[in-house]
Amino acid sequence: MKEIKRDLIYKYQPLSNIQLSKDEKKVYFVTTKTDLKNNDYVQDLNVISTDGNKSSVVVKGLKRANYFIVNEGILLIDSKKQKEGYTCFLWLKDNGKTVKAFDLPLQVDSLQDFNRNYYLVSATTNRSCPDFHKLNGKQQKAYLKDKKKDEDYIVFDEYPFVYNGAGVINGNRTSLFLVSKKGQNILKITNETLDVENFDVKDEKILFSGVDFDTFKGKWSAVYEYDHKTKKTEKLFDDRMEVYRLFYYKDRKIVLGTFGKDWGAIESGKFYSLENGEMVLQIDCEYSFYNAVLSDVRYGKTRSLVKSKDDVYLLTCSRNETIIVRYDGDRLTTVFADNGTADDFCVKADGTIYAIAMLDMKLEEVYLIKDGKNSCLTSVNRKVLSDKYVAKPEEIVLKKKMPVYGWVLKPINYDPKKKYPAILDIHGGPRCAYGPIYMHEMQVWASEGYFVFFCNPRGSDGRGNAFGDLRGKYGKIDYEDLMDFTDLVLKEYPNIDKERLGVTGGSYGGYMTNWIVGHTDRFKAAASQRSISNWITEVTVSDYGIDFPIEMEFKDVRHCEKELWDISPLKYVNNVKTPILFIHSREDYRCTLPEALQFYTPIRINGIDTKLVIFKGENHELSRNGKPLHRLRRMNEITDWLNKYLKG
């Protein structure tokens, strides 16, 4: 079998945004290809006929295949003609051609049918001109001209003021609009200070949640309902609850959220029925309803909740895989779980599921799921790995009161008589997880002659609230699990050379990498990616910010500098003897650049070999959604650094 080269990442085609046509006779999905000439990506819109299950390309070479299926057909956002303040739409014809539909003076995020006469649109607005859509053409041009004059100035008067991937968001809100299908007249149904987070439609009503704020956005949401017949909005609930999802279910209003009373503000949501202003518990569960199992070979828009007729389906992480469950009013029923991850999905009225999934160490494909069985419908990525060495994860369990599950990848051409270097890879989150699915970086290292080992220490997702609880335990129980797991791997795989161990991780994994090198010298090289070194600056600068001390439930979130400093790797930086590489993006607002700089500087001053590589034009998602050439450069920097110390 051939090695997996670092640049094979250019050959992968991630799948995303799978949707059913209104008549349920077709399934549409997007494939993403690398465009090396422009250091970017292009997307194709594909279709599968549900009767013959044959796949074909509908539209090729789109800059961004953002599309919406409505009663009148398929609307595409025309990314080539986008202009500030507007969204331009195209109608997709049956022959694959497009024609102009209409332009909206809104920055549209989503669009769907509301009724026969209106679309429901969510759009980003800004408080500097929340009613831009009401201005006439001349007034809109004047506003945009004045705005351009201020491009050299950034003004903050709110919190949060930045968000990863979006940049400066000061004054931004997600607002809801009804847009008439004839004439595109616009009716705004939310006020200028409300930031909408979730919404659902039933008949002539819209159920939605969000945070209404002037200068500081807290964690707690309120629930509202808009009645189109009366043109009035009623606040239904507002009592210190974090709302994760909400939807209509038959005659009920269902809210998935938490009051944070048992496990803090980060605890898994429970299902409540909103009745007469009260939350009535329906299902007590410990799932986090998103795809928490990480991979670096995904790209594009996905969803974690789908409604089909009266049924509601959700993605969730269960131990180390992403499954699909059906909400049945008083219980959750698993409808898909098969040694991998469901990444996006849609559901027919009869319960048939079409899912984009990564199964059995394969790249993404579309699967038909019916009666508990699945069949693969596409072969988009089949050839790219057909002759390559794909290391199979071998499960290893650290037996404790709360067992820790992990995996080991053996190097290519493994010879039990030889000794090999090894890399510990730590996931982000921490409420995320690793699983036995395909990870490009890990497979590259296995092909370059490394053992690779990884696990889900306490704090990870998929195992319930008690397992995921790190309040007062950051750098303690998680560090203990990682070191104990390393010891177990060395015991079970004696061909690993314990003198040639490397460690790497990103985000929370970067934090743990920084923490590890300040507490042990057992690793001969480290690569810290988009990391955290100082929780005081992380709380005051990043888009995660104040959420952290709230989630940690410090006694006084306004005076918690000691608690923050005690769990900051920077406190222990003078202990570091391990050569360490830092990878960071300049536009990373989740773990900001100063986090790397603060740790890098004393290490360099202390004479320890170190290097900081900063990527311009990238954010926290560099390893997953970064520009193609940047992703390869990142891979090269990390691998070459580890090779220098573990193979040199």
**What kind and span of H or E run contains 528?**
strand 525-529
Answer yes or no: are the C-beta atoms of 85 and 132 closer than 8 Å: yes
Q: The domain 104-376: what is its CATH number?
A: 2.120.10
Name the residue ranges covered by the structural domains of the chain.
104-376, 389-646
Give the residue carrying structure tokens 């987070």: 197
As a whole number of angstroms, the distance between CA 268 and CA 463 comes to 11
* pTM listed for this prediction: 0.97
Options 3.40.50.1820, 2.40.50.140, 3.40.50.970, 3.40.50.2300; CATH of 389-646: 3.40.50.1820
**What kind and span of H or E run contains 182?**
none
Per residue in 510-548, pLDDT (tens digit) is: 999 999 999 999 999 999 999 999 999 999 999 999 999
Per the structure block, which two tokens stand in for 299? 């790209």
For residue 243, what pLDDT band results from cuts at 50, 70 and 90? Answer: very high
As a whole number of angstroms, the distance between CA 333 and CA 313 comes to 9
Per residue in 445-470, pLDDT (tens digit) is: 999 999 999 999 999 999 999 999 99
Residue 287 zone, left/alpha/beta (φ > 0; ψ -120 to 50; rest): beta
Query: Any alpha helices (H) in 505-570, and if so which ranges?
Result: 508-517, 535-541, 547-552, 561-566
Give the residue carrying structure tokens 């332009």: 103
Per residue in 165-186, pLDDT (tens digit) is: 999 999 999 999 999 999 999 9
Give the residue carrying structure tokens 């945004």: 17
Give the pLDDT of residue 50. 84
As a whole number of angstroms, the distance between CA 3 and CA 450 comes to 12
Task: Spell out the residues 6+ positions from residue 104 whose beta carbon is closer than 8 angstroms to its own.
Answer: 86, 87, 89, 121, 123, 133, 179, 184, 186
Q: What's the average model confidence in pLDDT over 373-398?
A: 97
